[in-house]
Amino acid sequence: MVRSNKRNHAAQNIPASHALAAFSFMTRSTMTFRRYLVLAFVSVSAPLGDTFLDVGMKRIGPVSLAHISTLFHAVSTPWVAGGIVLLIGFFASYLTALSWADLTFVLPATSFGNVVVALLARFWRHEQISLARWVGIFLITAAVGFVTQGPSYTEHEQPITAPDAKEVCQL
């Protein structure tokens, strides 16, 4: 007894490219060489900026909120000012990356900065890093490889827009 299943038969005749096209309307890769450079800058500028802040604040010494003038002095030192500039560059690049990629892609992809922080802390700042921290850094880096293999952007059928003033007033 041979039963014919029309749905099964129809599914066998659909080319794989058409089946994938049905899914690809939701996600797509938007990565270019320049965009990889932006992600690389994000991954390097944040840890470098944080390290500059560390150098500057270690030279200033302990700061108390009771003496707020010390914080203003700290901002005027070259290391802290340089760290702030790098962190502003990080933030601008991070915003740029979020404009063309999903948060679930950008944040893990830029987490390579954890490796950069560890290397800067160990070899420039001469900090001791435990084996457990190195293992954690390795696991984060390995996970980044999985995340970056997926699509970088999810398309939405209708763009999400902020309500205009008329709509808000009518609510």
CA distance 79 to 68: 19
Confidence band of 89 (pLDDT split at 50, 70, 90): very high
Domain range annotation of the chain: 30-149
Confidence band of 75 (pLDDT split at 50, 70, 90): very high
- Mean pLDDT of all residues in 37-53: 94
Supply 31's token pair: 């990565």
The predicted model scores a pTM of 0.68
Helices (H) and strands (E) in the chain, counts: 9, 2
Which of 126, 153, 112, 155 lies closest to 55, judged by CA?
A: 126
Question: Residue 68: its pLDDT value, please?
Answer: 86
- Mean pLDDT of all residues in 85-100: 95
Mean pLDDT of the chain: 80
Which of 129, 109, 110 lies closest to 119, judged by CA?
A: 129
Identify the H or E element spanning 93: helix 78-100
More confident residue, 11 or 151: 151
Contact 48, 42 (CB under 8 A): no
Kindly write down the DSSP assignment for every residue of 102-162, as one continuous string. Answer: -HHHHHHHGGGHHHHHHHHHHHTS-----HHHHHHHHHHHHHHHHHTTS-SEE--SS---P
Q: 38 pLDDT exceeds 70?
A: yes
- Mean pLDDT of all residues in 152-168: 65
**Alpha carbon of 108 to those of 77, 78, 112, 142, 144: distances in Å?**
32, 31, 8, 11, 6
